Structure 1
Amino acid sequence: MPGDKSMSHRALILGGMADGVTRIRGLLEGDDVLRTAVAVGALGAGTERVGPGEWIVRGAKWQSPAAPIDCGNSGTAARLLMGAVAGFPISATFTGDASLSSRPMERVLGPLRSMGARTEGSTLPLTIHGGGLTGIRFMNEKASAQVKSAILLAGLRADGEVDVIEPAPSRDHTENMLRQFGCEVVTERSRIALGQHRSLIGTDVTIAGDPSSAAFPIVAALIVPGSQVTVRNVMLNPLRAGLLITLREMGAGIQVKNERIEGGEPVADLAVATSSLSGVEVPAHRAPSMIDEYPILAVAAAFAEGRTVMHGLAELRVKESDRLAAIVAGLLECGVEAREEGDSLIVEGRGAPPRAAVTYRLITIIASR
């Protein structure tokens, strides 16, 4: 699998803030992550690609960029960089494409202002004026890893205690990677706090394989008759494993092999075979651990026998598009009975392949010409 996008963003940002040199292996080189690489360079750090997925980052004291930071379509780049910038006595303007410019940023800006940052604007384009931050005790009610990460990154250069309380756990890649860079992070039940030692030292980082990318060949193997597929180098962080838990509840034959630790994260190879799937009810509390995998889970549900109900999907409405509505529209086009009820998605599986969608057949015909 290609490198995990969440880890890739964080490795570049922390490397750019750290003292010394950071060497990254397995970086995901998609547009979102490359936007972060360009931004880190514009803020004063040195970034150099030395091979496929291999980068060197030379940390520096950040400075105001000469031009606005264009985050493209990446909400992760925008929100994490805002937090990091807020800790320095500099100003930076953030822009993005039309989709990102419509997405909510106040969830990050609010706590940053509480720490002492000044902000202009509530959606992109917006400007952060950083420096002189104080501590914060923040309740992360939406279980947003991006909000938590922005606070922790800002808190690296804040005076006072920095605590994030999580009623429901969110992805912990930032905490794991901060420790790898030498920062003291205290985790006690629902509390995540920065310790007294907050300086970062450049290090070697190996990016584990992206579980969101792995979701597609995994589901394909489950629903295509006669399949036996091994998906290698998949991160199995428990806070990213919601899809695997759900698929197994549906009856998926998935074996975990060659377990190991890479980049501070558990990694393994997954052996997947065609399986008879049954509908299940997916609890809302599992959503943060699989929020990007619901579209492909909905495909698995269409091939399953019986009803699958997925709860707690409000976050899907504020992604690059309204993903919840898009999933339903796509399934209906394929003849699958699906509907939204509040923030829940209901798919009526028939235990058989749905029909091809006319829209997609037309696209294939046009492409062939």
Structure 2
Amino acid sequence: MKTLRSLNGAGLTGTIRVPGDKSISHRAVMFGAIAHGRTVVDGFLPGEDCLSTIDCFRKLGVTINQEKEHVEVVGNGFEGLHEPEDILDVGNSGTTCRLLLGVLANTPFHSCVIGDDSIAKRPMSRVTNPLREMGTKIDGRNDGNYTPISIRGGNLKAINYVSPVGSAQVKSAVLLAGLQADGTTTLTEPHHSRDHTERMLRAFGCEVEVNDLTVSLKGKQPLVSTHIEVPGDISSAAFYLVAGAIVPNSEITIKNVGINPTRTGILDVLEKMGADITITNQNTQTSEPSADIQIKTSSLNGIEISGELIPRLIDEIPIIALAATQADSTTVIKDAAELKVKETNRIDTVVNELKKLGAQIEATDDGMIIHGKTELSGGTVDSHGDHRIGMMLAIASCIANGETVLENSGSVNVSYPSFFEQLEQLSQSTIKKS
């Protein structure tokens, strides 16, 4: 639990670096584990989710040395994986769980995958169904829809799979299984999801073909170890981008943020709302582009957020909802039913917690409606164990009158262990200047 106080107009100023991208950190460890040779990862996110990935692959027999943001993974291909002596516990990480099932899809041994109470409620059939179609033997609660999940690899066959959901985790699991199958595996999505897996497969020497919404690869391609530089996570940067826009007298610069086009919906939304954003020092020479982003206090306008934009900012919707409370007129978020199966039901949780602070916000079947501009007041709020809800509420406390008590504040360690330290740093920078 943390007690947070309003900045009373003092503002947030300074320059920070956000932790490494969580999605890329997960994949760098996983792909290094199934590649041949020593893979070096710099900028790794040492948050609880990514540490769960390291723990699972160590249990599978992979040598992984990790010191803060530097990781070395010694891989011996899929054939180097060994039957774990213990349960593979993914903690709170949906990415670890779903991608790990793809890795295990052809292994000639038994594994049991489990997670925390939140993971136990998240649907896994979106992954287990196509893996079964490829030949993997899977069992679990509700016919393999929920953890614990028992998995034993089979002789995989390539498939042409049309996914009912646009999900990078589903796509990645099928492609990881496809690497182990005979023939060419193809997956088609209803809309574009983030493409970190396709980019990283190429970085590890794999040929991947992308044609609009369809991605395919030939099985039995060996991965070769490489060096991965992980940029800052734009989903983490989003909290300070919104803070810079809505907290009076603020100016924040965030260095080396990943600007993968499948992830930059937050920038598009803030610009459309009228935020004062400047992007500099763009680096497009690596597989994952990055840049420095500066944002200043802005006058925001309400907008509609829907359609193909949603997959590019699904994780940022909680903090976008907070921004909308400070925008003139109404913001409508639609087509975001996927929020119901995140760490919490993020539609209901965002609405209920912001209402405690005085927000005029209401839930819909696939999103929410936020009426602005609204003055917020402190109160007791709860992250419900969801890291993104916790960080959103902490930013809300900066503009809410009085004190805000944040329960379950430790949830932020899943993706951003230094979050509260940096929030203090930015507020102290303002005090020192004044």
- Per the normalisation by structure 2, the TM-score is 0.81
**Structure 1: 5+ residue stretches without partners:** none
1-side partners of 2:238 and 2:375: how far apart?
A: 19
Alignment of 1:233-248 (within 5 A): 233-248=256-271
**Aligned counterpart in structure 1 of residue 252 of structure 2, from 229, 232, 242:** 229
Q: Which residue of 2 aligns with 1:294?
A: 317
Q: Distance in 1 between matches of 2:286 and 2:106?
A: 25
Of the three residues 354, 357, 361, the one matched with 2:376 is 354
Q: CA RMSD in A?
A: 1.7
**1:88 paired to 2:107:** yes
Q: Which residue does the alignment assign to 2:283?
A: 260
Contact map agreement 1:206 1:262 (CA 8 A) in 2:
no
For the 8 Å contact 2:106–2:152, the answer to whether it is kept is no
Three-state SS of the structure 1 residue aligned to 2:118 is helix
* 1:34 counterpart residue number: 51
CA distance in 2, matches of 1:353, 1:237: 34
What residue number does 1:55 align with?
A: 71
Q: How many Å separate the matches in 2 of 1:86 and 1:23?
A: 25
Which of these residues, 5, 15, 38, is aligned with residue 21 of structure 1?
A: 38
Distance 1:170 1:68 in 2: 30
Structure 1 match to 2:119: 100
Name the structure 2 match of 1:153. 176
| Deviation of 1:263 (Å) | 4.9
Deviation sequence 1:140-159 (CA, Å, 0-9, x none): 23101100000001111101
Give deviations 1:132-191, integer Å, cap 9, x for gaps: 100011112310110000000111110111001122000100000000000110011121
Superposed, 1:137-148 pairs within 5 Å as 137-148=160-171
Q: 1:189 aligns with which of 212, 222, 235?
A: 212
CA offset at residue 358 of structure 1? 5.1
Is residue 241–residue 289 contact of structure 1 (8 Å, CA) maintained in 2? yes
In the TM superposition, what whole-angstrom CA distance separates every residue of 1:14-62 from its partner, at most 9, and x where no partner exists? 000001110000110011100100111111211012x321011000221
Deviation at 1:344, TM superposition (A): 2.2
Quote the Cα distance in structure 2 between the aligned partners of 1:205 and 1:119.
32
Report the CA distance shift for 1:362/1:275 in structure 2 as closer, same or farther (over 3 A): closer
Q: Secondary structure at the match of 1:363?
A: strand
Higher RCO (CA 8 Å, separation ≥ 6 residues): 2
3-state SS of 1:278 partner: coil
* Length, aligned pairs only: 364
Tell me which residue corresponds to 1:325. 348
Distance change in 2, residues 1:266/1:69 (3 Å): same
Instruction: Could you tell me which runs of 5 or more consecutive residues in structure 2 were left unpaired when the two chains were aligned.
Output: 1-17, 382-396, 398-402, 410-434
Asked if the contact 2:83/2:110 (under 8 Å) is kept, the reply is yes
From 321, 338, 358, the counterpart of 1:315: 338
User: Is the Cα contact below 8 Å between 2:178 and 2:219 reproduced in 1?
Assistant: no
1:220 partnered with 2:243: yes
**Alignment identity in percent?**
42
State the distance in 2 between where 1:131 and 1:159 align: 12
Find the residue that maps to 2:147 and give its secondary structure: coil
Judge conservation of contact 1:183–1:197 (CA < 8 Å) in 2: no
Q: Kindly indicate whether the alpha-carbon contact (under 8 Å) linking 2:340 and 2:347 is maintained by their aligned counterparts in 1.
A: yes
1:306 and 2:329 aligned: yes
Structure 1 stretch displaced more, 246-255 or 89-98: 89-98
Whichever residue aligns with residue 44 of structure 1, its letter is G
Change (3 A) 1:262 1:91: farther
Distance across 2 between alignment mates of 1:353 and 1:266: 37
Change (3 A) 1:363 1:141: same
Tell which deviates more after alignment, 148-157 or 353-362.
353-362
Asked whether the equivalents of residues 2 and 28 of structure 1 are also in contact (C-alpha less than 8 Å), the reply is yes
